[in-house]
Amino acid sequence: MPGALSVKSALLRLFPVRSGKLAGRTVRISPHAECWSTERLCLFPRAAFFKGRGTREDSLLDADKYENDPELEKIRKERNYSWMDIITICKDKLPNYEEKIKMFFEEHLHLDEEIRYILDGSGYFDVRDQEDRWIRISMEKGDMITLPAGIYHRFTLDEKNYVKAMRLFVGDPVWTPYNRPSDHLEARTQYLEFLAQSA
């Protein structure tokens, strides 16, 4: 397993720079994704929202005020993330902890986006790149990630064994994981088509 990458570096590995250069606070790195130089990341498979450089300077997410954060509200509205809850993953707080941790670390995909906003603690998302190699993404407080439907991934805690994360969803949540291999699923086909278009 290679070393963990920041969310921004991981995104750059997944979607190499096609337009614009890595400079300024907001960097357009593909037709489908956007990231911020402050390491906050949204990885949108399609219909990304783009902002001009610097427009988010004063409007970044603030994990300390997630209950009343206009920036979070804005993203939820723009992306139609109508549903949310908060999950705390640690031994004392999560029922069936051992079983859940094992399940999160099984390589799987979903039929919908998986959206996580780290409010406290940290962990790793591992995702597959175009060559089917793992990319380890270090997720820390204030990072938001949207994994596209159909991408193989897994999640694990780091040595702190603690993360508190907001889970967001469009409509009623469906968390069903489809363990690999699940290449026959429509979501997988669509994701591969998206990758081919981005190449």
If DSSP codes are grouped into helix, strand and coil, which group holds residue 2?
coil
Of the candidate spans 24-32, 35-43, 73-81, 112-120, the one that interacts with Fe ion by CB under 5 A turns out to be 112-120
Binding mask 59-98 for Fe ion (x = CB under 5 A): ----------------------------------------
Question: Measured in whole angstroms, how far is the alpha carbon of residue 19 from the centre of its chain?
Answer: 22
Question: Measured in whole angstroms, how far is the alpha carbon of residue 68 from the centre of its chain?
Answer: 21
Q: Which is nearer to Fe ion, 31 or 44 (CB)?
A: 44
Residue 60 tokens read as 């970044």
| Angstrom distance (rounded) from CA 168 to CA 37 | 23
The residue sitting closest to Fe ion, measured at its beta carbon, is 114
Q: What are the DSSP E strand ranges found in the chain?
A: 5-6, 26-30, 33-36, 41-42, 83-89, 108-109, 114-128, 134-140, 144-147, 153-157, 163-169, 178-179
- Cite the annotated binding site for Ni(2+) by residue number: 108, 110, 114, 153
Q: Which is nearer to Fe ion, 114 or 126 (CB)?
A: 114
Residues 168-187 that bind Fe ion (CB under 5 A): none
If DSSP codes are grouped into helix, strand and coil, which group holds residue 157?
strand
Q: Is 113 in the site for Fe ion (CB under 5 A)?
A: no
Q: Which is nearer to Fe ion, 20 or 83 (CB)?
A: 83
Q: Is 114 in the site for Fe ion (CB under 5 A)?
A: yes
| Angstrom distance (rounded) from CA 29 to CA 50 | 10
- Closest approach of Cβ 153 to Fe ion, in Å? 6
Of the candidate spans 16-24, 62-70, 111-119, 156-164, the one that interacts with Fe ion by CB under 5 A turns out to be 111-119
- Closest approach of Cβ 100 to Fe ion, in Å? 12
Of the candidate spans 35-43, 58-66, 108-116, 164-172, the one that interacts with Fe ion by CB under 5 A turns out to be 108-116
Residue 88 tokens read as 């705390």
Tell me the helices (H) and strands (E) count for the chain, helix number first.
Answer: 4, 12
Of the candidate spans 5-13, 26-34, 110-118, 161-169, the one that interacts with Fe ion by CB under 5 A turns out to be 110-118
- Binding residues for Fe ion, rule: CB under 5 A, are 114
